[in-house]
Amino acid sequence: MRPGNEQSKPARAAKDAKPAKKPSSPEYREMHTKLGLLAIAVIINVLGFSIIIPLVPYFIKEALGPGVSANDPRIGEYGGWLTAVYALMQFVFAPIWGRLSDRIGRKPLLMLSLAGDVIFYTMFGLSHSLSMLFAARILAGIFSSATLAIAQAYAADVTPPEHRAAGLGMIGASFGVGFLLGPAIGGPLGAVNLALPLFVSAGLAFVNLLYIAKYLPEPTRAAAPAAPVAVVRASRLTMMARAAFGPLGFLYVLTFAVTFAFANLEGTFSSYLMQHFGYTDPKQSLRVQGGVYAYLGFLIVLIQGGAIRPLVKRYGEAKLVVAGVALMAIGFLVFPFCNSLGLLMMGPMIPIACGNGLNSPALRALISRKTSAHSQGASLGLSASFDSLARATGPAAAGWLYRHYGMQSPYWCAGIVMTCALIFAVANYHGLAAPDAAPAPSPVAGESGAA
């Protein structure tokens, strides 16, 4: 065949392909309207998790009884466990909700999740015993786990390939916004009334439920081929174990370590602030905590929202991961030596927050870059699974250490973990810096919806 008469298949495919949606087109505006509704749902969902972080010690103190001292170490331990059970339920149930949404539909389960938020945020606000507090958080974790999983699936349904990364990025950014806003809002509202932040979250979830019921349609989805039974029923923990020893295993281990260490702080810091620095008056303490968490959020957003792009362009993700891990290790190891809140904020909190802000996007980018195109969902889903498991185990370990080995022990633990992670990152630097995509092993490739 003569070259002049041959038209390659890629050329014909490009010629026949539909043009991308233009920003001014009605379809583009409709897509962003749907993504906006989803983003609001995710923000409200995450608010319900993070808004109670500064309130937990006072709910626990009240539940333990009137004779309990504000310095009782059980307050820190139970605070860590309350954080852990919520994250554990999300780790377990998010994939289940995702698979159910493939069968039943996205919108009905998204509405069910928001209805659960309304009920169980209110239940937590009205709880006066430990059993009720734990029941409310367990049930809230089960139902709220549907929101993020279904929102990501919905975003993939309504965005064409050329806009899918931006759509999923919007959902991911909403998670970060909700997590950072929650404690900053919960502190000042809790100073007015301890249960008020929970009732506000429940009210927002109810408004969002009504709005989604009226304005968010069920997306049109292409029929997916039936997956092999062995893949559908495969244990996620088994897949995670295999992945940890696979080509990207060092990145998954670093993802777990970074989140585990930061979760030690999330699970116990409110109790530490109350007991170590003497902020036993709820109104004063909650105002201070609102400011502290807003400060941490500002630092993380400053890194992830503005500084990360020029830093990646100049230094690359591999160097940023090593730098971020080193900053967190230094911050946590110095943390126990700070005897004033001002010193803590101007000292170790800066490298901890900045290191975390560098690590999260850099590790995700490296995992994506080192994964073949057909396995992106599987690898990023596994990354989210390691992250979720660390959010469950970190606060649980921190709470146990807080009670049995002293209130500073969770931060020593985090410092040791990050020091080991730094050694591990340096030892695997050639893998971090390697530009080539790693082939995804077949057992992991079926885990695209794991997270």
List the domain boundaries for the chain: 28-218, 233-451
Selected from 1.10.3720.10, 3.40.190.10, 3.50.50.60, 1.20.1250.20, the CATH number assigned to the domain covering 233-451 reads 1.20.1250.20
Residue 13: per-residue pLDDT: 44
Query: What are the start-end ranges of the H helices in 105-228?
Result: 106-125, 130-158, 161-192, 196-215
Q: How far apart are the first and last CA of the chain?
A: 49
Residue 246: per-residue pLDDT: 85
Residue 244: per-residue pLDDT: 86
Residue 445: per-residue pLDDT: 36
CA 363 vs CA 6, 50, 250, 255, 374: distances in Å: 44, 23, 10, 7, 19
Given this chain, do its domains 28-218 and 233-451 carry the same CATH topology?
yes
Rounded Cα gap, residues 392 and 67, in angstroms: 30
The domain defined by 28-218 folds into Growth Hormone; Chain: A; (1.20.1250)
Note the pLDDT tens digit of each residue in 392-431: 999 999 999 999 999 999 999 999 999 999 999 999 888 8
Are 435 and 342 in contact, with CB atoms under 8 Å apart?
no
Q: What is the pTM of this model?
A: 0.77
Are 52 and 86 in contact, with CB atoms under 8 Å apart?
no
Residue 451: per-residue pLDDT: 35
Residue 396: per-residue pLDDT: 93
Question: Exposure pattern of 5-27 as b/e (b: 16+ CB <10 Å)?
Answer: eeeeeeeeeeeeeeeebeeeeee
For residue 375, the one-letter residue type is S
Residue 322: per-residue pLDDT: 94
Half-sphere exposure in the Cβ direction for 177 (13 Å, CA): 13
Are 153 and 97 in contact, with CB atoms under 8 Å apart?
no
Rounded Cα gap, residues 123 and 138, in angstroms: 11
Residue 440: per-residue pLDDT: 41
pLDDT, tens digit only, all 451 positions of the chain = 444 444 444 444 444 444 445 555 677 777 777 788 778 877 877 776 678 888 888 899 999 988 888 889 999 999 999 989 988 998 888 888 877 887 888 888 889 988 998 999 999 999 989 999 999 999 998 988 887 777 777 777 777 766 665 666 677 667 767 777 888 888 888 888 989 988 988 888 898 888 888 877 887 765 544 444 444 445 778 888 888 888 888 999 999 999 999 999 988 988 898 888 888 787 888 888 888 888 887 887 788 767 877 888 888 888 999 999 999 999 999 999 999 999 999 999 999 989 988 888 888 778 877 877 666 666 767 787 888 899 899 999 999 999 999 999 999 999 999 999 999 999 988 888 876 554 444 333 333 333 3
